[in-house]
């Protein structure tokens, strides 16, 4: 029964999106539990600063060597081989796995040796004790790119066979492993137990996919040839994508480096707020773009411009329909969300206010994050990896410069400081420089989304914006009215003393009631405006 479920195929884009959304939602729930456990156990202090800093370089290695190849090359190249010859397709896969594993192991070993030097570069503001903790965890975490590298190559291949369910469960298992590390390893091994949890999560991510991978027809062969045509084409296609991803990760390295020089807990506050924001993007934009990517690639390969435009337009409109109201809800209810999810144990009131402020700033750029994902995937489907890479590099340079500028401005206690403090309700907190990093990232992401949106319509002339513009207008109007209603309900619950904000239950009820009626109001307005996206969602659930 379990084997049948894990090997099940998902043939429609809508069902694949639903499965991926469900898995990302479950993964997000586990992610919230993970962050709640981390916040309650350690608070926004030295320990979490070291933990998040230790993640940066292992993630960088995995991104540039693996994820770029998967999104830009492995899926379309394996598909083209598999149509002609299954044997050639699996030979290409084996060769690719062997090559990537050798390079991943080699790079990881080198970085393990030079970890102290690496930590000094990415976290120059850390004390010597924090650097020692960061080095210790980073060295263990360098096993992660090796394990997740193999696992994500397997995920890419399984998506070709439309086995979205098992690939969707992998991130769930990853978060589960980290949670087990917090609950069971930390009490035994101390802070280093967090790193062991990350490795356990990686192993679970891999192991759940292996049976389905072998069931698909994979048989290992001891081949290693850089001259293989498919391998060379993979490397050629992945380089621009890897440069783009690498630029984004370099951005993260610079942010961590700057945050390490700020007040203690700044790295933790930034990452906790960013995690809360990223969960929403993963659940909606990543699931939809992952599901639509193979179909768009096929439409482009067939030179079917009408089908390509239809799939792009549909994906973009649905992202706008879901993300825009969500970002407004997140901003209005940012303090309640952070208090409910993270406000426990050692996570104090100061930590809560700063994290809520950063979270609110990230909510402003939430739509841009989602657009960058879907627009980049559209370029990849059209065999163009250069434009997203160039846009990423340019915006990263801009973000680094803007980060220094905004952090400096917030250190002056001038007009910009006072306005920021007032708008984000941070009165009484003298050091709010971490907000500058969050604000710079949101502004940069918005800029990148605008550039990519312009380039997508310039590059693909068949894409039409009329239907998208019509939907955008309706969504904006519905969201505005929803925002007003949500704010009034939130304030009304306080004014009429329906909830007591001194208790967890009171804050939770304020959050739940405001969000429920806000969403309900949005749906009602969209219904009266005859939103096509709402009709699509209704039809989908009525058929399934």
Domain ranges for the chain, please list them. Answer: 2-464, 465-544
pLDDT at position 451: 92
More confident residue, 297 or 434: 434
Q: What confidence category does residue 479 fall into, taking pLDDT thresholds of 50, 70 and 90?
A: very high
* Mean pLDDT value of segment 431-440: 96
CA R_g for the chain = 23
pLDDT at position 543: 57
Q: What confidence category does residue 521 fall into, taking pLDDT thresholds of 50, 70 and 90?
A: very high
Judge whether 39 and 345 are in contact, CB under 8 Å: yes
- Three state DSSP letters for 392-441: HHHHHHHHHHHHHHHHHHHCCCCHHHHHHHHHCCCCCCCCCCHHHHHHHH
Q: What confidence category does residue 538 fall into, taking pLDDT thresholds of 50, 70 and 90?
A: confident
- Residue 435's nearest CA partner among 406, 466, 478, 397 is 406
Residue 150, pLDDT above cutoff 80: yes
150-178 burial, b for 16+ CB within 10 Å, e for fewer? bbbbbbbbbbbbbbbbbbbbbbbbbbbbb
Q: What confidence category does residue 86 fall into, taking pLDDT thresholds of 50, 70 and 90?
A: confident
Residue 308, pLDDT above cutoff 60: yes
Which helix or strand (DSSP H or E) is residue 154 part of? helix 143-160
d(C-alpha 258, C-alpha 275), whole Å:
18
What share of the chain in percent tops pLDDT 90?
Answer: 49
- Three state DSSP letters for 340-405: HHHCCCCCCHHHHHHHHHHHHHHHHCHHHHHHHHHHHHHHHHCCCCHHHHHHHHHHHHHHHHHHHH
More confident residue, 295 or 255: 255
Q: Where on the phi/psi map is residue 303: left (φ > 0), alpha (ψ -120 to 50), or beta? A: left
Judge whether 285 and 318 are in contact, CB under 8 Å: no
pLDDT digits 0-9 by tens, 523-537? 999 999 988 888 877
pLDDT at position 4: 52
* Mean pLDDT value of segment 44-69: 84
Question: 349-364 and 334-342 are packed helices; what angle lies between their axes, rounded to 10 degrees?
Answer: 130
Distances (CA, A) of 153 to 69, 88, 231, 514: 8, 17, 13, 42
Instruction: Specify the pTM.
Output: 0.85
pLDDT digits 0-9 by tens, 370-380? 999 888 888 87
Q: What confidence category does residue 422 fall into, taking pLDDT thresholds of 50, 70 and 90?
A: very high
pLDDT at position 71: 54
d(C-alpha 269, C-alpha 369), whole Å:
19
Q: What confidence category does residue 14 fall into, taking pLDDT thresholds of 50, 70 and 90?
A: low
Residue 348 sits at the vertex; the CA angle it makes with 345 and 353, to the nearest 5 degrees, is 135
Helix, strand or coil, per DSSP, at residue 304: coil
Residue 197's φ and ψ, nearest 5 degrees, are -65, -40
Q: What confidence category does residue 314 fall into, taking pLDDT thresholds of 50, 70 and 90?
A: confident
* Mean pLDDT value of segment 475-493: 95
Judge whether 71 and 28 are in contact, CB under 8 Å: no
More confident residue, 515 or 376: 515
pLDDT digits 0-9 by tens, 259-291? 999 999 999 999 999 999 988 787 777 777 767
**Token pair recorded at residue 33:** 């539990």
Residue 255, pLDDT above cutoff 90: yes
Judge whether 144 and 199 are in contact, CB under 8 Å: yes
pLDDT at position 219: 83
More confident residue, 296 or 404: 404
- Three state DSSP letters for 386-397: HHHHHHHHHHHH
């Amino acid at each position: 029964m379990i084997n049948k479920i894990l090997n099940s195929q998902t043939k429609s884009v809508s069902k694949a999106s639903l499965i991926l959304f469900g898995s990302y939602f479950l993964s997000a729930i586990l992610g919230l539990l993970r962050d709640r456990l981390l916040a309650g156990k350690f608070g926004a202090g030295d320990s979490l600063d070291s933990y998040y800093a230790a993640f940066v370089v292992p993630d960088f290695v995995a991104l540039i060597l693996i994820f770029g190849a998967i999104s830009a090359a492995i899926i379309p190249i394996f598909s083209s081989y598999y149509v002609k010859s299954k044997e050639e397709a699996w030979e290409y896969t084996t060769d690719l796995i062997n090559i990537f594993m050798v390079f991943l192991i080699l790079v990881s070993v080198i970085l393990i040796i030079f970890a102290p030097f690496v930590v000094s570069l990415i976290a120059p503001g850390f004390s010597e004790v924090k650097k020692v903790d960061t080095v210790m965890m980073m060295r263990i975490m360098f096993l992660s790119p090796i394990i997740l590298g193999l696992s994500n190559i397997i995920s890419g291949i399984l998506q070709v066979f439309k086995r979205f369910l098992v690939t969707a469960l992998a991130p769930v298992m990853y978060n589960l492993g980290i949670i087990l590390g917090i609950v069971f390893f930390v009490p035994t091994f101390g802070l280093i137990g967090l790193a062991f949890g990350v490795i356990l999560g990686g192993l679970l991510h891999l192991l759940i996919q292996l049976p389905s991978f072998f069931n698909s027809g994979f048989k290992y062969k001891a081949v290693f040839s850089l001259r293989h045509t498919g391998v060379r084409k993979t490397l050629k296609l992945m380089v621009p994508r890897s440069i783009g991803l690498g630029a984004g990760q370099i951005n993260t390295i610079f942010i961590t480096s700057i945050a390490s020089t700020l007040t203690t807990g700044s790295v933790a506050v930034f990452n906790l707020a960013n995690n809360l924001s990223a969960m929403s993007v993963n659940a909606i934009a990543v699931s939809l773009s992952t599901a639509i990517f193979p179909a768009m690639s096929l439409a482009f390969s067939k030179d079917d411009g009408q089908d390509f435009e239809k799939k792009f337009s549909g994906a973009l409109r649905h992202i706008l329909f879901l993300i825009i109201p969500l970002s407004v809800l997140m901003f209005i209810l940012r303090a309640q969300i952070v208090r409910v999810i993270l406000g426990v144990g050692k996570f104090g009131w100061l930590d809560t206010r700063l994290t809520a402020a950063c979270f609110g700033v990230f909510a402003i750029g939430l739509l841009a994050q989602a657009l960058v994902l879907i627009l980049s995937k559209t370029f990849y489907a059209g065999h163009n990896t250069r434009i997203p890479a160039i846009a990423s590099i340019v915006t990263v340079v801009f973000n680094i410069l803007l980060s220094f500028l905004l952090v400096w401005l917030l250190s002056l206690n001038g007009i910009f400081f006072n306005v920021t403090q007032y708008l984000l309700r941070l009165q009484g907190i003298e050091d709010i420089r971490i907000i500058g990093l969050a604000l710079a990232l949101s502004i940069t992401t918005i800029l990148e989304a605008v550039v990519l949106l312009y380039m997508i319509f310039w590059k693909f002339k068949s894409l039409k914006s009329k239907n998208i513009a019509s939907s955008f207008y309706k969504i904006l109007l519905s969201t505005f009215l929803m925002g007003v209603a949500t704010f009034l309900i939130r304030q009304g619950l306080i004014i009429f003393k329906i909830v007591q904000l001194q208790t967890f239950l009171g804050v939770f009820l304020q959050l739940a009631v405001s969000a429920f009626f806000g969403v309900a109001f949005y749906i009602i307005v969209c219904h009266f405006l005859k939103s096509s996206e709402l009709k699509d969602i209704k039809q989908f659930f009525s058929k399934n």
